[in-house]
Amino acid sequence: MVATLLLLSLFVLFGGVELGLVYAIRPPYNRGVDWPVLLIGVISFILLIGAYFAIPFELLKRRGRVVGIDFIFLTVDWCGAFFSLMSLVAQSEFDALFGTMYALCCAIEMSMVVSHLIWKLRTSGIRKRAQAEGETFDESAEGRAWQAEGIDLEAKFWKLIGRDDKARQEEEYLEEGAIEEEVAAGKNTVPIGAV
């Protein structure tokens, strides 16, 4: 019930913002003033690309493993960006701002899939040995040790500014196989060995 009310509230809020922007931008646009429309496009570009900012840091920490992203969703999202880019290509005038945004989305999402596939290749031996022992990659000591060698820039950042407790918390999270626990509890959307 709470989730439904929250979702409906967000629909009303976002619809109201969109309606307000249409009525606020339409009069200047009709007079030939283009910068408000361009500003909205730039803001959406920054927000969308900014949402991908944390991904390279997670990939470094997990040595290329993609965790927490469903690959079916990623495929659908990639198709949306790709076909949006193709629609811009088919127009008589190419919109460079949105063309760049869609191309970046496609490239980032493809790089995530490639990164995970490379991770699967690099860990195939460890995963086979773990399976032979009746364990998953995250349950095996060899898998946890291999995964712990990733570069955790977030922990390094917290150490740099003097918050060692945050850095220790991140290290313990990786060492204790918390990813497997999240998957078992249904908190993590990526099935281990997905792709």
29 phi and psi angles, rounded to 5 deg: -65, -40
Spans of all domains in the chain:
49-185
Tokens at residue 110, please?
Answer: 């493809």
Q: What confidence tens digit (pLDDT) does each residue in 138-158 have? A: 889 998 888 888 888 877 777
Per-residue pLDDT band at 67 (split at 50, 70, 90): confident
CA distances from 83 to 90, 99, 150 (A): 10, 11, 35
Positive or negative, the Cα torsion across 156, 157, 160, 166?
negative
Tokens at residue 166, please?
Answer: 């945050």
CA distances from 74 to 89, 105, 182 (A): 22, 10, 20
- Is the Cβ–Cβ distance between 103 and 85 less than 8 Å? yes
Q: What confidence tens digit (pLDDT) does each residue in 159-192 have? A: 787 776 665 666 666 555 555 555 555 554 444 4
Asked if the model's pLDDT at residue 3 lies above 90, the reply is: yes
Round to whole Å and give the CA distance between 78 and 108: 9
Round to whole Å and give the CA distance between 128 and 168: 30
